A and B are shown apart, each in its own frame.
Chain A
């Protein structure tokens, strides 16, 4: 039965080659554009730490003065050194890490390399276990190294490949800002996207080269890059960031149960109340505790252009589908004579409906295949774009299946109405007209 329907469909499609090509092309274009943009969106709004992100939280408090204050204001996105260190040392969460980004001049021991500016993350010991960072060699550093401002460094596997040819470099020395640093760990393959923990260096595809203890970076006054938000007469002197009224640190905590989340929120509130009572905080206590995905949503990590492009592509798909519905309807109606004859010869309405739907299904499958090719081409085009997320635009299995499902269901939907209308022809009327 189905084989016969398929045969009929192919036969009918062959009779109007141009029209068939037009319908397939319209569906392919619409599907291609939509799937390209949806894939980009899917990649951009992905979970950077699958399985772990639910227990990672970003605490916020508000230490600023009353200038520009409104009761509904959101607390700032970063912490001061004073607050960050207090929260870090209170150890109220399972794990906690304070961090910020920067650049540091790196002189390889091998003379074959010129010194270069390495992108760095200055952080604290829990960073590695909290985010379950994989290590190829060695490990992260401990709280003792944080306290003693130790000259230790963790490097990425790319840097290890570049400097040491991928060999185990733990215990080796690299020179950062003309000081000797001992390598304690080499990271494995770790590229969380979005780059959630430090978003000022770029939200996507912006891995660091080196990880240095935050205390060490301040001890040596390593260059800090990122947003420094100050209030009062501070001027933002980079050598006194610890004592002036500036917010420049990012703080993440791991909270494993709902009870510990609410306990941590209370802790933040109590801390703010205490600081308010002592006069250090001027604003009324204002705290937030978002989990990682809520936080990424809040800072609008997905570029608005990518969302806009998706809307645009979906609009385009709608036009392509309406176009196909119209053409299919016209085509089916034109075959009213033929359908009338077949009805008169005993074909049921259901059988006709099935046949017509099969025809639109064939167009859908062909359009889906074309759309898939166009989407792959579209993603290749996206990868040539200048945006920082461009090179992440690859199709995965989920999106591949989604593309196909979308194509077939879209064209079946497009074929449904025309088929339904066309199979309701009154056989006698059509025969008489002929």
Chain B
């Protein structure tokens, strides 16, 4: 179809056409970035943890008073929890994935290093890998004789006695790849704190840190250090997914009978914990979807409104064209092509704007660069919306009978 007549008509409505183009450009730019942001949030929410999330429950407790024999009491708790029907493994750990608190440390491979290579999260506790369901890629789990009590570790640190500290450590694949890319990490030395040496005895396929994903979501290390209930974050229990409710109830009852003098601070499944952890991201993604829809609707209604005006305004010229032999299809295509032209110009400007907004977000919100494929997604959306919106008025235009040409307004 020849677009020259369309262009010459638009030239007579320069200002209105420009406004429509501007609206489409802005919508396109905002939508490209909003879809990108939604993608970012969804990626974050779908992050894989490397643990058997659907098989885990946790109970967080606090003693009301002091418990000098906390270590022995914790051992008794753990033994009692293991006896509950359906329980496969139990641990007292210092931090729970997607929980509020975390212990983090700088890790380096050379004592002389000025700056740490990475910041990793530090998991402590007995039988953490088997309880959380972590997959060991290479190496082995800790041996029973390798575990130390946290109280003894603190005492050794206080005296500066490095030899009393447990040396073996499990690291995640992400840590291994970062510290020794392309090398076998087993048996390698790394240093934490002011130079405490750790020896890698195994590599875990994956283990997410509890929070602070910005520092490297999969940078985790496990040390063989036993905790008492007052030192740890909570009991983590592994059982079959369908047994979770029952096990949680029995475990709470059992812990209450063992020592009633404590307060339950938190309890639930890891699934719930994960849901709660990402609730802000879910809400933000929802808001972004809402804004996208509202933008598309407003833009579509704007196109409908303007196109309707143009159709009404050109009623007579449409009649003349029809009388001179233009088919209904010609008229329909005329308005569709006109819309396509305007939308395309709008999209082209919108792409530049989208890029600009992305740069702004990179600077102010530490977001990554928007991948190229978001641009065509935004463009396609607007083309579709534009064509859908113009269809109604265009059909009305096509229905104008040739006889209109002979009538005066």
Contacts and interface: CB of A to CB of B under 8 A. Distances in A.
Contacts of A308: 37, 284, 365
Contact of B114 (A67, A225, A232): A67
A66 B162 CA distance: 21
Interface residues of A, number: 59
Interface string A236-257: 1101100000000000000000
A237 B158 contact: yes
A177 B65 CA distance: 5
A234 B157 contact: yes
A387 B278 CA distance: 11
A66 B112 CA distance: 12
Interface stretch (B235-243, B245-253, B287-295): B287-295
Given A67-B114, A315-B26, A326 B62 contact: no
Contacts of A330: 16, 305-306, 309-310
Interface in B118-156: 153-154
Contacts of A387: 280, 283
Contacts of A386: 276, 279-280, 283
B358 interface: no
Given A320-B298, A326-B20, A334 B309 contact: yes
B147 to A, nearest CB: 16
Given A177-B64, A234-B193, A319 B299 contact: yes
B280 A103 contact: no
A202 to B, nearest CB: 10
A223 B119 CA distance: 26
Given A67-B115, A233-B196, A33 B365 contact: no
Interface in A175-233: 177-178, 221, 223, 225, 230-233
A139 B409 CA distance: 85
B19 interface: yes
Interface string B84-116: 000000000000000001010010000000111
Contacts of B294: 29, 33, 316
A68 B196 contact: no
B301 A26 contact: yes
B19 A319 contact: no
A331 interface: yes
B114 A66 contact: yes
Contact of B64 (A115, A234, A239, A334): A115
B374 to A, nearest CB: 16
B305 A115 contact: no
User: Which of B20, B37, B294 has most A Cβ within 10 Å?
Assistant: B294
B114 A105 contact: no
B114 A322 contact: no
A178 B65 contact: yes
A163 interface: no
B291 A177 contact: no
A305 B302 contact: no
Interface string B353-382: 000000000001100000000000000000
A314 B295 CA distance: 12
Contacts of A326: 16, 19-20, 23, 302, 305-306
Contacts, number: 145
A385 B283 contact: yes
Nearest to A30: B298
B45 to A, nearest CB: 13
B33 to A, nearest CB: 9
Contact of A322 (B19, B65, B312): B19
A333 B12 CA distance: 12
B214 interface: no
B27 interface: yes
A173 to B, nearest CB: 16
A26 B64 contact: no
A434 B106 contact: no
B96 to A, nearest CB: 15
B44 to A, nearest CB: 12
Contacts of A103: 62
B15 A305 contact: no
A235 B22 contact: no
A22 B365 CA distance: 35
B174 interface: no
Nearest to A230: B193
B181 interface: no
Interface in A1-55: 19, 22, 26, 29, 33
A381 to B, nearest CB: 9
Contacts of A313: 291
A305 B279 CA distance: 13
B273 interface: no
Most A C-beta atoms less than 10 A away, residue of B27, B265, B302, B313: B302
Interface in B149-189: 153-154, 157-158, 160, 162
A277 B67 CA distance: 43
B56 interface: no
B305 A22 contact: yes
A322 B22 contact: yes
B388 to A, nearest CB: 16
A163 to B, nearest CB: 16
B192 to A, nearest CB: 9
B63 A105 contact: yes
A107 interface: yes
B64 A421 contact: no
A417 B302 CA distance: 17
Contacts of B313: 334
B39 interface: no
Contacts of B265: 117
B193 A233 contact: yes
A221 B67 CA distance: 12
B378 to A, nearest CB: 14
B79 interface: no
Given A233-B193, A234-B157, A326-B16, A331 B309 contact: yes
A237 B154 contact: yes
Contacts of A304: 364-365
A22 B157 CA distance: 71
Interface string A331-344: 10110000000000
A315 B30 contact: yes
Contacts of B276: 386
Nearest to B157: A235
Contacts of B15: 329, 417, 421
Nearest to A228: B103
A325 interface: yes
A274 B16 CA distance: 71
Nearest to A313: B291
Contacts of B23: 319, 322-323, 326
B19 A325 contact: yes
Identify the interface centre among A223, A232, A233: most chain B CB within 10 Å of its CB.
A233
A86 interface: no
Contacts of A164: none
Closest 8 CB pairs of A and B: A178-B65, A323-B302, A232-B194, A326-B19, A330-B309, A386-B279, A237-B154, A233-B194
15 contacts: A29-B294, A29-B298, A68-B114, A68-B116, A115-B263, A117-B62, A233-B157, A237-B154, A309-B287, A316-B291, A319-B23, A319-B30, A322-B302, A323-B23, A326-B19
Given A315-B26, A387-B280, 20 more contacts: A67-B114, A67-B116, A105-B65, A117-B263, A177-B64, A221-B66, A234-B157, A234-B194, A235-B153, A235-B157, A237-B154, A239-B154, A308-B284, A316-B294, A316-B295, A319-B295, A322-B22, A326-B20, A327-B305, A330-B16
